[in-house]
């Protein structure tokens, strides 16, 4: 679950205040110009605080969006998958346009290189409400290596086109609760707190 902020320190302070646990610095994503801090939410789930990396003057894509945030909020999410090719086939069958798998990497604070593969899903107008998929391969999953925070109790979304979105989730093998609402919203219920966005 990605918690975006215009500045990493601001985002970490917000999460610490609301969850009572402090995310640990992760590293920099050079191709996006972003930096992160991670907190395990148990059950194979982690919270990633994501912000523009200091010193990166030419932000692209997601880094640019984060720089434009006024306040920290949930901005995106990823689904773990061990067979990205099968997810891509399911996406294509549902009329979507998968991109990838594409490689990703970042250096940790200690200098270790972490690598993964991602599958991006296009061909829709749901924005980040359709997640990207990630295969960590041989890299230890961040929910294991990150500091332990409170557990995620429930993750759900609200959207004005709830039935259509729920159908795409089913086609992609995702079991996510979708409620009908005029305003699109991510909702993460975590022991003792609720994080929302965008």
Burial readout 169-188 (b: 16 or more C-beta within 10 A, e: otherwise): beebebebebeeeeebbbbb
Inter-CA distances, 182 with 33, 158, 179, 196, Å: 33, 8, 10, 15
pLDDT greater than 60 at residue 57: no
For 79, the token pair is 């689904």
Q: Which residue has the tokens 């523009």?
A: 52
Q: Which residue has the tokens 């148990």?
A: 42
Sorting pLDDT into bands at 50, 70 and 90, what band is 29?
A: low
Region 91-108: mean pLDDT is: 88
CB atoms within 10 A of CB 34: 27
Sorting pLDDT into bands at 50, 70 and 90, what band is 89?
A: very high
């Amino acid at each position: 679950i990605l918690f975006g902020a215009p500045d990493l320190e601001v985002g970490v302070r917000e999460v610490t205040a609301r969850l009572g646990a402090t995310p640990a610095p992760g590293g920099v994503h050079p191709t996006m110009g972003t930096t992160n801090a991670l907190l395990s939410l148990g059950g194979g789930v982690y919270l990633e605080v994501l912000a523009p990396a200091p010193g990166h003057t030419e932000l692209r894509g997601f880094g640019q969006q984060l720089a434009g945030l006024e306040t920290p909020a949930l901005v995106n999410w990823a689904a773990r998958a061990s067979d990205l090719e099968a997810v891509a086939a399911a996406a294509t069958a549902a009329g979507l346009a998968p991109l990838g798998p594409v490689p990703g990497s970042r250096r940790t604070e200690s200098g270790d290189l972490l690598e993964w593969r991602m599958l991006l899903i296009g061909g829709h107008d749901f924005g980040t409400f359709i997640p990207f998929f990630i295969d960590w391969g041989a890299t230890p999953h961040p929910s294991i290596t990150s500091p332990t925070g409170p557990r995620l109790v429930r993750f759900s979304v609200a959207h004005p086109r709830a039935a259509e979105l729920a159908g795409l989730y089913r086609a992609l093998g995702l079991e996510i609760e979708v409620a009908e609402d005029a305003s699109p919203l991510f909702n993460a219920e975590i022991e003792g707190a609720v994080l929302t966005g965008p």
